Amino acid sequence: MKFFAHGKLLLTAEYAVLGGAKALAVPTKLGQSLEVAETGNTIIWKSVDQYGNLWYENEFDITSFVPKRLDEIGNRLQHLFLEIKTQNSNCWNTSTGFSFTTTLDFDRSWGLGSSSTLISLLSQWSNVNPYVLQQEVFGGSGYDIACATSKSALVYERTNPLAPKVTAVDFSPEYKDRLFFVHLNQKQDSQKAVAAFDQSKLTPSTIKEIDELTRGFLEKSTIENFQVFMFQHEEIVGDLIGMKPVQKRLFADFDGAIKSLGAWGGDFILACGNTSIPNYFSKKGYTTCLRYDALISSLS
């Protein structure tokens, strides 16, 4: 059996999505796959990176799911196995073991969703609710779970953490050749960022402002209007979390607009300007600069 889950990028409503704000998110072409085969009387786990190199391996007891080698990843996988058994006991029995092999398409440091794709893959295999599995093991808003199996951009509303509202939308701006995703060379821990965020700061007026900007992102407008929406969004979220927008901190001389994506402080940013954007960031030491088309367009 083989399964696939898309990576994700959150374009609007970072942090505010936790309070029910409408969030625009896109699944990426790059993701993670899972192959499952029956084995003897044990559970074998192997994780392979984008270059085909084995980066993690462990073995688990078929009954207790206790890992042979105790480490953070093994403990997390044990937690996932136990929660899957709680939701669907038919997945496991004491007479059949399984071999699981995951393969990533992207660098683990990129923050495209190595955890959320894993949740989705195991949910696809076990036929359990991925939102329940995520909340029980990792927590989070859940938009990344929605992206994992989506074929298009989507608007995500966390009306119910275990049954959110997900609406497929068309997001393919005419100026997408001037949109770039730039990696900041830092791995941001989204789980810690979410846990640390004070949701009491999310007032109804703030959520309404974010909702309006999400609608603005989806409107067919000029690139100048889109950049204004980016600036406005950065100011609102910056005030919300008490952090200076990334363009003011690192790229004040950039000719265009820059917006943080997901948890602020690391992973990818969205840069909107002219076609010389890759040269600008390369000179500043940021060599991972991907065109919108390279990461998103085939799904839109």
Domains, the chain, in order of start with CATH, read: 2-167 (3.30.230.10), 172-299 (3.30.70.890)
pLDDT in tens, 276-287: 999 999 999 999
Q: Distance (Å, rounded) from C-alpha 150 to C-alpha 145?
A: 9
What percentage of residues in the chain have a pLDDT greater than 90?
82
pLDDT in tens, 238-277: 999 999 999 999 999 999 999 999 888 668 999 999 989 9
Residue 67's DSSP bridge partners are 60
Higher pLDDT, 140 or 213: 213
Whether 120 shows a pLDDT value over 80: the answer reads yes
Q: Distance (Å, rounded) from C-alpha 129 to C-alpha 103?
A: 22
Please report the pLDDT score of residue 49 as a whole number: 97
What pTM was computed for the model? 0.93
pLDDT in tens, 17-57: 999 999 999 999 999 999 999 998 899 999 999 999 999 99
| Closest to 137 in 3D by CA, of 116, 152, 107, 110 | 116
Please report the pLDDT score of residue 230 as a whole number: 98
Mean pLDDT of 135-152: 94
Count of positions (residues) in the chain:
300
| Closest to 47 in 3D by CA, of 37, 38, 57 | 57
Cβ contacts of 165 within 8 Å, gap of 6 or more = 156, 157, 159
Quote the tokens at residue 72: 């953070």
Query: In whole angstroms, how far apart are CA 8 and each of 32, 166, 209, 249?
Result: 11, 14, 23, 25
Please report the pLDDT score of residue 182 as a whole number: 96
**Confidence tier at 297 by pLDDT (50, 70, 90):** low
Please report the pLDDT score of residue 190 as a whole number: 65
Whether 127 shows a pLDDT value over 70: the answer reads yes
Residue 135 burial (C-beta neighbours within 10 Å; 0-12, 13-18, 19+): middle
Mean pLDDT of 76-81: 97
Which of 3-7, 202-206, 218-222 shows the highest mean pLDDT?
Answer: 3-7
Please report the pLDDT score of residue 185 as a whole number: 84
Mean pLDDT of 114-137: 97
Please report the pLDDT score of residue 200 as a whole number: 76
**Can you point out the beta strands (E) in the chain?**
2-10, 23-39, 42-48, 54-61, 97-104, 153-157, 165-169, 179-183, 257-260, 268-272, 289-291
Please report the pLDDT score of residue 22 as a whole number: 98
| Closest to 115 in 3D by CA, of 87, 159, 76 | 76
Higher pLDDT, 160 or 197: 160
Q: Distance (Å, rounded) from C-alpha 4 to C-alpha 290?
A: 22
Please report the pLDDT score of residue 300 as a whole number: 44
Please report the pLDDT score of residue 188 as a whole number: 60
- The rounded mean pLDDT for the chain is 93
The answer to whether residues 23 and 10 touch, using CB atoms and an 8 Å cutoff, is yes
Query: Residue for token digits 């603005």?
Result: 216
Taking each continuous run of H as one helix and of E as one strand, the counts in the chain are 10, 11
pLDDT in tens, 161-174: 999 999 999 998 99
pLDDT in tens, 178-191: 999 999 987 666 66
